[in-house]
Amino acid sequence: MQLQAAPDLVVAPYLIPFTREPSTMQIDPENSKVPDLYRLMIGMVVPRPIAWISSADADDRHNLAPFSFFNAFSVSPPILGVGIGARRGPDGTIIKKDTLNNIEARGEFVVNIVSLPLAEKMNHSAGEFAPETSEFEAAGLTAIAGTKVAVPRVEEAPVSMECVLHQIVPLGNSNLVLGKVVFMHIKDEILENGQIAIDKLKPVGRLSGNAYCKVEAGSIFELLRPEI
Name the nearest CA neighbour of 63 among 144, 147, 149, 125: 125
Q: Which domains does the chain have, with CATH numbers?
A: 49-188 (2.30.110.10)
5 CB neighbour count, 10 Å cutoff = 6
Give the CA distances from residue 194 to residues 9, 187, 188, 191, 197, in Å, rounded to whole numbers and listed in that order. Answer: 54, 11, 9, 6, 9
pLDDT of the residue at 135: 97
* Contacts of 22 by beta carbon, 8 Å cutoff, 6+ apart: none
* Alpha-carbon radius of gyration of the chain: 20
* DSSP letter string, 55-91: EE-TT--EEEEEE-SEEEEEETTEEEEEEE--EE-TT
Look at residue 21 in the predicted model and tell me its pLDDT.
61
Could you tell me the CA-to-CA distances from 202 to 79, 190, 198 in Å, in that order? 23, 9, 6
Convert the pLDDT of each residue in 114-148 to its tens digit.
Answer: 999 999 999 999 998 988 899 999 999 999 999 99
pLDDT of residue 214 exceeding 70, the answer is: yes
Q: How confident is the model at residue 98 (pLDDT cuts 50, 70, 90)?
A: very high
Confidence of residue 89 (pLDDT cuts 50, 70, 90): confident
Residue type for position 29? P
User: pLDDT tens across 201-210, in order?
Assistant: 999 999 999 9
pLDDT per residue as tens digits for the range 162-189:
999 999 999 999 999 999 999 999 999 9
Give the Å distances, CA to CA, from 52 to 8, 177, 194: 44, 14, 24
